[in-house]
Chain A
Amino acid sequence: MKKSLLAIALLAAAFGAAAPLTASAKDISLLNVSYDPTRELYQDFNAAFSKFWLAKTGDKVTVKGSHGGSGKQARAIIDGLDADVATLALAYDVDQLQEKGKLIPKDWQTRLPHNSSPYTSTIVLLVRKGNPKNIKDWDDLVKPGVSVITPNPKTSGGARWNYLAAWAYAQKHDGNDEAKTKEFIGKLFKNVPVLDTGARGSTTTFVERGIGDVLLAWENEAFLAQKELGVGKFEIVVPSLSILAEPPVTVVDKFAKKHGTEVVAKAYLEYLYTEEGQEIAAKNYYRPTLASVAKKYESQFPKVNLVKIDNDFGGWQVAQKKHFADGGTFDQIYQK
């Protein structure tokens, strides 16, 4: 008996001795799994946060990024991609981390201000210089001969925002006649020659491959294309109606706990709400939520009449089920 106890003590001591090897690391690594067009934003933000954290704690943080279609990224995390934080395009994809992966708590959206969306954006139309097809609003996109570039709503969060913005416009103009709205969206997607899996892929299709007359884009992506990817080659058309896009962020609790990075992951997301974090977002053409920074960059962002997902579509759960689930309106109208 005594020897058995001794053996157990030895085993426990050995386990105990091994534990500090993981807990005492000063080089911390975080994985931020994000949606497609946030590459530039988080490249700047990660550098700023690493500097901030080093000064604050003396620990070196290296943040790695993974980018892709928001829905695809959510599935990857659920399938085991060890993300410490998820910064996705829409709340429904983050909800999936809770519902299907049990990786985060149910109240994840209340843990940070503004429903855990540190910045917002909207959907605009990017056309070629001189706007050769004279595109001014959504109804110009359904005209014959207009080639529209948008990613696949099944895999891309941005594409779902695009779809819902167009839907909201059509619904308003058709007096809430759903059959007509579906017909409008059907015509729009008939004009889509290529469906990329993510927003960045669509930008590549439109900007670099020279395909299409108009790109349905995140506002930040449109600015980026206009000012950095093809200076002087594109113009932004602000439609009469669009949608308020609120990309949310969350710590992926289960993986962060496993990695021992809960504290730094939380601090990383909280830093997005600071003045410096908001400045970086604004400089990357995301609309800041901090009033002081929003005011400073007010002139950068055009005023748009915006619908909200909660008010006009009953929230993401309802919108997802109706439009993007298997057999939903998108499946009904889109003929590949």
Chain B
Amino acid sequence: MQFKFTKFATALIASGIISLPLAAHANDSSELEELRALVQQLDQKVKILARQGEISAEETAAVKKTTPVVKASENGFGLESADGKNSIKLKGLLQIDNRNFSDVNGLGGDGKNISGFDFRRIRPTIEGTVFGKYDFRFTPEFGEAKTASATSTSGIVDAYIDARFQPSFKVRAGKFKPFVGLERLQSGSDIKFIERSYVSNNILPNRDLGAAIHGDVLEGKLNYSVGIYNGVVDGGDITTVQDTNVDKEYAARLFTTPFKDSDSVLAGLGFGLAATHGNFKGSIATGASGLPAYKTAGQQSSFFAYTTGSVFANGVRERISPQAYYYYGPFGVITEYARVSQDVTNGTISDKLENDAWQIAVSYLLTGEDASFKGVKPIQVFNTDGGGWGAWELVARYQENNIDSKAFQTSSLAPTGYADPRVNASSAKSWATGVNWYLNQNVKVVLNYEQTSFKGGGSSTSGLFTSIADRPDEKALFTRLQLSY
């Protein structure tokens, strides 16, 4: 800048513009001196102006370094301090479902499967970070899921603090998804089907209050977690009120992605093992049986529930769950198994019952995107004004939920079991297929068809515990419009 102005002044003199009067007074040295002084004054003024501009720019840059940054993008909206150590984000998940059941009066004619529209999830989320390492998340629920679980009356889905001391050592406390189920740990906006499998919904914990240590070691290839929680029934989501159970539940999980970040065809492979151990005794006095009810794939009614009023949890509850996923190019597969063993009592008898569930689900992206455990980002977003069609994905799943045969009564004369086989099925087997249309990374349309067959639970014409019919199949056609950001 200074160089330019100096050159400019020199050029003016050289070209004669300033020196024109000198032609008439070539020998007038005093006037020449005056002109020289004038040029010097002007030169100083120009330099001062240029320097003031520099200082102003420096000050603007300094202010910018301390000015918070406003962010607005497809990843959400938020504010972040200039040093990036403090931030707050507003996120949201909205799912509007249309659920059609062919068996409106199915499941023993109890009329619980009602077709219609449903707000499955309405979840605004506030999350952020303070002091660079303390993350927090708060998510209330305004949708149907608020009361979807028999054990959930809480409107708070997540409320926790996660302290990232080191990548290998983090501490999370509050209400959150216990580090147990693989599909459960997948975000509700990223799951491939409208409902998760029996493994997630019926056996493993949904959300719990507690604290966990977790982290990534071995260059992020091994994820570990150990935690202590209040404890929830199978598939349960806990309220945020004081726990009534003295004993707590412990959970641990190891999950590895040994070929992560390599060029191997196994780069997308992950597998692990999770387990929980807890102790719960239900009683009439506490008003809690401590036992779950297992829902159908359609998630409206239960196909199995323990007899109320007389059957209670009676001690140890243990779960184990091997789990894996694999993603390669547009192809993805996720599979997991879970078994729960539960001490139960019914008057004079008691048993350890073992129920289990498993699932395998595959997905294939038709439009060339890479599949992953996280969401799908279309190569070309859908645009009515020309352009792409978004991302299209085909999905299919098979899943089972099996009840321990010891759970069922064989006689009405004396306690011989823990559930009435005339209204409770001993297994549910479901197959599903569907298509996902990702208009962009924030908007998704889902179409699922799922058919479930049951063993038993379809009433007995004799009224006795023999010759029990199977419940009618559940046939469900679900569609969903989802917005997440």
Contacts and interface: CB of A to CB of B under 8 A. Distances in A.
Interface of A: 3-4, 7, 10-11, 14, 18, 21, 80, 147, 193-197, 201, 205, 209-211
B169 to A, nearest CB: 4
A211 B44 contact: yes
26 contacts: A3-B248, A3-B250, A7-B228, A11-B211, A14-B169, A18-B166, A18-B168, A18-B169, A21-B166, A80-B83, A193-B44, A193-B48, A194-B48, A194-B52, A194-B55, A195-B55, A196-B55, A197-B55, A197-B59, A201-B55, A209-B47, A209-B51, A210-B2, A211-B44, A211-B47, A211-B48
A211 B1 CA distance: 13
Contacts of B59: 197
Contacts of A7: 228, 248, 250
Contact of A209 (B50, B168, B211, B226): B50
B51 A211 contact: yes
Contacts of A201: 55, 58
Contacts of B83: 80
A145 to B, nearest CB: 9
Nearest to A14: B213
Contacts of A195: 55
Contacts of A196: 55
Contact-residue size bin, chain B (C-beta under 8 Å from the other chain): 20 to 34
Most chain A beta-carbon neighbours within 10 Å: one of B55, B211, B213: B55
A201 B52 CA distance: 11
A4 B47 contact: no
Nearest to A196: B55
A10 B47 CA distance: 68
Contacts of B52: 194
Interface string B82-107: 01000000000000000000000000
Contacts of A18: 165-166, 168-169
Contacts, number: 45
Contacts of A11: 211, 213
B31 interface: no
Contacts of A210: 2, 47
Q: Which secondary structure characterizes the binding site on chain B?
A: mixed
Nearest to A213: B44
- Closest 3 interchain pairs by CB? A18-B169, A7-B228, A193-B48
B69 to A, nearest CB: 17
B261 interface: no
A21 B217 CA distance: 14
Interface string B454-484: 0000000000000000000000000000000
Contacts of B58: 197, 201
A3 B278 CA distance: 10
A205 B44 CA distance: 11
A10 B55 contact: no
B166 A10 contact: no
B247 interface: yes
A196 B54 CA distance: 10
Nearest to A145: B41
Contacts of B48: 193-194, 211
A230 B228 CA distance: 69
Contacts of B247: 3
Interface string B332-375: 00000000000000000000000000000000000000000000
B6 to A, nearest CB: 9
Interface string B132-165: 0000000000000000000000000000000001
B226 A147 contact: no
A92 to B, nearest CB: 22
A4 B248 contact: yes
A214 to B, nearest CB: 13
Interface string B217-228: 000000000101
Nearest to B279: A3
Contacts of B55: 194-197, 201
Nearest to A1: B246
Nearest to A17: B169
Contacts of B165: 18
Contacts of A197: 55, 58-59
B50 to A, nearest CB: 7
Given A7-B228, A21-B166, A80-B83, 6 more contacts: A4-B248, A10-B226, A18-B166, A194-B48, A194-B55, A209-B51
Contacts of B51: 194, 205, 209, 211
B316 to A, nearest CB: 12
A80 B58 CA distance: 21
A7 B278 CA distance: 13
A205 B169 CA distance: 50
Interface string B54-69: 0100110000000000
A194 B228 CA distance: 64
Contacts of A4: 228, 248
B140 to A, nearest CB: 29
Nearest to A72: B62
A80 B132 CA distance: 12
Nearest to A212: B44
Interface string B231-275: 000000000000000011010000000000000000000000000
A18 B166 CA distance: 9
A34 to B, nearest CB: 17
B165 to A, nearest CB: 6
B166 A209 contact: no
A258 B170 CA distance: 19
A4 B2 CA distance: 73
A4 B50 CA distance: 70
A208 to B, nearest CB: 9
A13 to B, nearest CB: 10
Nearest to B37: A145
Nearest to B46: A211
Nearest to B165: A18
Contacts of B228: 4, 7
A54 B362 CA distance: 59
A244 to B, nearest CB: 29
A7 B211 CA distance: 10
Nearest to A193: B48
Contacts of B248: 3-4, 7
A10 B211 CA distance: 12
A195 B2 CA distance: 18
A48 B47 CA distance: 40
A305 to B, nearest CB: 32
Contacts of B47: 209-211
B56 to A, nearest CB: 11
Most A Cβ at <10 Å: residue of B47, B58, B226:
B47
Most chain B beta-carbon contacts within 10 A, residue among A10, A196, A209: A209
Interface string B22-52: 0000000000000000000000100110111
A14 B225 CA distance: 11
A7 B228 CA distance: 7
A230 to B, nearest CB: 15
A166 to B, nearest CB: 21
A54 to B, nearest CB: 27
A33 to B, nearest CB: 15
A205 B50 CA distance: 10
A200 B241 CA distance: 61
Nearest to A21: B166
A94 to B, nearest CB: 22
Nearest to A22: B166
A242 B40 CA distance: 31
